[in-house]
Structures are given as C-alpha cells and as structure tokens.
Amino acid sequence: MRSGSDAPPLTPAGRRIVDAAEELFYERGITAVGVDLIAEHSGVTKRTLYNRFGSKDNLVAAYLTERDRRWRSEVRAAVAASGSAEDAVTAPFEALRSWTSTHTRGCAFLNALAELPDPQHPGHRVAADQKRWLRGLFEELATAAGCHGPAALATRLFVLHEGAVATEPLSLGTVAAAADLARELVRAAVRMT
C-alpha cells in the first residue's frame, strides 16, 4: 500500500476500514487493536482488509496518513486565514485549539511514535514525517515573517506546540497558554530584526 498523494483512492470498503481503524486505534491504541476488531467494525472480512492494505502495519500507516492529511489541511487553512505574516507563524496553535476541541486523547502521532518505536515501521515513518513537517512549517513561516533566527524560533515553537498537545488532555488550558507564549516569542523575534 502506498501512502500520501500517490496512493490510489480508497474504495468504499477501504474507506470504512480506515475510518474504523482510526476510531479504534485512536481510542484504544494501535497495539491493543487487532485486525479482527477492525474488520468487524468496518463490516468487511479480514480477507478484504488484507487485500486492500496487505498488513496491519500498512493499515496503521494509512490511518496516520489520512489523519495527517486532515491536520495539514486545518493548519494550512489557519495560516491562510491569518491577518499578517506574523500571525501566520502562530497559526498552527490556532489550528491546534480547534483540533483539540474534538480530538481529546492527545496527539495520534505522538501516541504512534510511543507505540511504534521502530523507525522502519511504516506508521512510525508517517508520524515522524508529520512532526518534521510541522517543525519545517514553523521555520518557513518565521522566515517569511522576517523573524530573527527563524530556525531556532521554529524549534522553540515546535517544542511549545508539542508540549501543548501532549498536555491538553489534562484540561489545564495548555493550548491557550502555549498560543499566548508563541505570540510573545514571535513578537520578540520580529522586534530583533
């Protein structure tokens, strides 16, 4: 199975399988959920599941790829809706605020990295690529906004973002606090130029 934009469109059965896998993997954990349960929840046979995805590992990658596609779309929309280049740098925090209102079990990618430590696992690769993309986006946006030290700022914003998403399930308001701190960091970096 290929992931990303080179993957063929999902059949209706494939879509049901990915949807069921997403719900189950996110709610119960990747290693705790077997293909029997996914097949049952998606209304297909195990044979159909294996014919479409080949293995549970590939299904995990498909689930994470689909989730990544939606997350990137939400982040890009937040960036596009920003009022200025400076506001765009912190747009991923605004996207996170919206995202965590409906995704309450933390970050699926951090969860996957914890459950799938082997860097060769296709799901691990998708999750790691998602994190690298976000860090790179922060640098790209900081550069476009004329921030001083865009690479260092991007790393700080990334760490702040990841800390917020990891702690948001504690209901401590960490996403809002992180967004405020991110804006302060960006304003300071813009003033330095």
Q: CA–CA separation, 153 vs 66, rounded Å? A: 29
Work out the average pLDDT over 62-67: 96
**Model confidence at 193: pLDDT above 80:** no
CB neighbours of residue 111 within 10 Å? 18
Q: CA–CA separation, 165 vs 107, rounded Å? A: 6
pLDDT digits (tens, 9 = 90+) for 152-182: 999 999 999 999 999 988 889 999 999 999 9
191 or 181, higher pLDDT: 181
Q: Six-digit token pair at 94?
A: 């605004």
pLDDT digits (tens, 9 = 90+) for 41-62: 999 999 999 999 999 999 999 9
Contact call for residues 161 and 92 (beta carbons, < 8 A) = yes
Work out the average pLDDT over 20-25: 96
**Model confidence at 5: pLDDT above 50:** no
**Model confidence at 39: pLDDT above 80:** yes
Q: CA–CA separation, 12 vs 19, rounded Å? A: 10
